[in-house]
Each structure stands twice: as C-alpha cells, then as structure tokens.
Amino acid sequence: RSSMNYFPNYYSIEDIFVTQEKVECRVNTKLQRMGFLDSGADSNDLEPGRTINLPLWYIKELKVNNAYFTISVPEIYRNVHKAVCEAETTHIELGRLHPYFYEFGRYLTPYDRNHVIGRIIFETMRQRVRHLLDISKSDGQSAKSDLRLDNIEAKLHEAGVRTNSQYIDWLQMTGNKIRTSELVEEHQKKRRRADRSDDEGEGLPSSKRATL
C-alpha cells in the first residue's frame, strides 16, 4: 500500500502506532481480579473511582456505552480547545502535541460522552486547511516544520506540493504532452492493418482474387 494512501487497517504501520497509545480511563464498577491493570492498586480487584491507563487497541474492543470504564479527554485536546474557540489553530505545532492528532481523536470520538473531541478535531482541520493549502504553494519542504504538522497533514502537504508542481509544469508547457489513450491507439492500429489488407487485395490480379 502506498504511503500516500494511508487508511486505517489491520496491517497499516500508522494504525498500529496510533492504537498503541495509552488512554486514561476511570473505573466505574468493581472489577474482580483486575487489580494488575493498576500498578498502585492495594488489592487484586479494581475499585470504582480508580484511574488507569489502557491501550487504545483494548478500548476499541469495548462497547461505546460500556459499564466498566469512562474515557477521559486526553490533555492534548484540552490544550487545543482554547485555540479552537479563538480560531487560532494555525500556530499550533500539532506534530509536537501528537504525531497522529486527528487519527487518535477519531478513534476516541465515539467514547467521548461530552462530544468534545469530535468538535475539536473538526474545527482544527477546518481552520488549518487554508493555511495548509498556502504552505503547499510555497517553497516545497522548506515551508514545513517536522513538528508543525501531524501525520495526515504532512501527507496532505506532500500531495499539495506535488500537485502544485505538476500544475505549474502544465502552465509552462514543460510537462508531458497530451498523449493519445492506449484504447484509441489500438483502434487506429487495427484500422491501419485493415486498410493495408484492403489495398493488397485490390492489387492482386482478378484471377488470383477469385482463387482466394
């Protein structure tokens, strides 16, 4: 699968990185013999009210309205919330906050009972997409900081730079010239072969044509 065509799936390296992240959860009910999940637990059981960190791949297997854990909004999204409200997200270094800012939030959105994360990632992308378009039109990679963009934004930036370069080449007529499609070329070849066969048939003596 091409690195430019990332989509969450079981074999995606990016998806594996995202789902390895730990998420803070509050225990809602007593869980017997689950104390090993909390390094600070005094008993073999998990008591209600305790806070533990669980990997995202485990949380994904739970029902959204499960009775065992309540997912806490990660601090990275709380930090962005104020900037979202002030419409000033373009200066945030999302790559420093989390290299998979949007994808991590997308996985957590169904478990966010206050519907905060979904609004944050939507508004963040909405506010940053124009800026992303602008830097894609500038001087290629020199406009991009490794920490400024998250994984998805970096891929969009690379695609934007490549597309803009192709567009400029087209305007300056330096790119590949327009070519006839393979289907049309094959049809033309068949027509030429048919025309040659007709010409050869007309050049034969009448007796040979009759024999043929």
Per-residue model confidence as pLDDT tens digits over 27-47: 998 888 888 888 777 788 888
Task: Give the CA count within 13 Å in the CB-facing half-sphere of 47.
Answer: 6
The 8 Å CB, 24+ separation contacts for 130-136 are: 131/90, 132/156, 132/157, 132/160, 133/160, 136/160, 136/161, 136/163, 136/164
Nearest in space to 135 (alpha carbons), one of 152, 151, 159, 169: 159
Please give the angle made by the CA atoms of 82, 100 and 135, to the nearest 5 degrees.
75
Write the pLDDT tens digit of every residue in 45-66.
888 888 899 999 988 888 888 8
DSSP 49: T
What is the average pLDDT value for the chain, to the nearest integer? 80
Write the pLDDT tens digit of every residue in 144-195.
565 688 888 988 888 888 888 888 888 887 655 667 778 888 888 888 888 7
Q: Per the confidence metrics, is the pTM higher than 0.75?
A: no
Under 8 Å between Cβ of 161 and 140: yes
Q: What is the pLDDT of residue 102?
A: 93
With 0-12 / 13-18 / 19 or more C-beta atoms within 10 angstroms meaning exposed / middle / buried, residue 107 is buried
Assess whether pLDDT exceeds 60 at residue 208. Answer: no
